[in-house]
Amino acid sequence: MALTVSLTPNGPKFSRVAFGTWRILDDPATQVPAGLLERLYTCLEEGITTIDTAEIYGGYRVEEALGSALALDPSLRRKLQIVSKCGIYVPCEFHPDRKTAFYKLTAERIVKSAEKSLRFLGTDHLDVLLMHRPDWLAPIDETAEGLNRLLKEGKIRCAGVSNYSVSQFEALNSRMAQPLVTNQVEFSLLHMAPIYDGVFDHAQQHRYRPMAWSPLSRALLLDATHEPSRRVHEVCAALSAKYGGATVDQLAYAWILNHPAGALAVIGTHKLERIRLAAQAAKIQLEWEDWYALWTAAQGCSVP
């Protein structure tokens, strides 16, 4: 299984496993630029070149922290693909005037948020900008206008969405000057919605690769006291030797990566050894029956 792939046919290359930055400020080791830089170096050593972040992460502080780490080694930027997201606005110390969390994907807001991300990250472009959640108030023409402007100005190389339904994806895509390249959705052994709600079928039909966030279900999959997770652990223990001593998290990542939609797995760990293990999961080619054995364990029943 290739470690790098194109999100769309003939499109730019991304790594099958992406380094997620949602919780980097929760870990003392990655709260400082040098510690975060060490993780980025480890990612590169292991073939993880795609970095996933978002405007809202860390109370709107993660992008700036990531930019500080990248500033320690300016040569690093050209070796990475940066994926960011915008559109979620919540009460915070920077905006005490906000009383309610809300989504906003007007053209003006998208451009302003993207330009702030570029400034914080210390880069002149984002490889992909995702609309973090659908904004039910923003007309799709408004959202497309902002994205098309950023594409035209070269501030983003590609545009995509996150947590969109098939119809929401199609509606926005119909107004885009350049087709959307991905839909980042929650997907794991404990959250299989994309294989039932049409999202992954749509990705295959239109030949774009989705991205899977929370591939370990916010670490719940690692909790053997949780009944569905316990069943998965039992199957993983039986399969481990067959796949070179693969761990539970490696087999969980491989289960995602082996689905024909070709999703990228956005990992949340910041532990060096677990980053290395996650990268190796991209090389695991599960046998057909073993993929279904993991499905069966997670679901607690046989296929219909």
Q: Which residues are catalytic?
A: 57
Backbone angles phi, psi at 188, to 5 degrees: -165, 175
The CA distance from 48 to 53, in Å, is: 14
What are the distances in angstroms from CA 163 to CA 29, 57, 108, 210?
30, 16, 21, 10
C-beta of residue 135 within 8 angstroms of C-beta of residue 103: yes
Largest CA distance in the chain: 56
Q: 152: exposed, middle or buried (C-beta count within 10 Å: 0-12, 13-18, 19+)?
A: exposed
* Cβ contact 63:117 at 8 Å: yes
C-alpha span between 86 and 110 (Å, rounded): 7
**Helix extents (H) in the chain:** 33-45, 57-60, 62-71, 107-121, 140-153, 166-173, 199-206, 227-239, 248-257, 272-281, 288-299
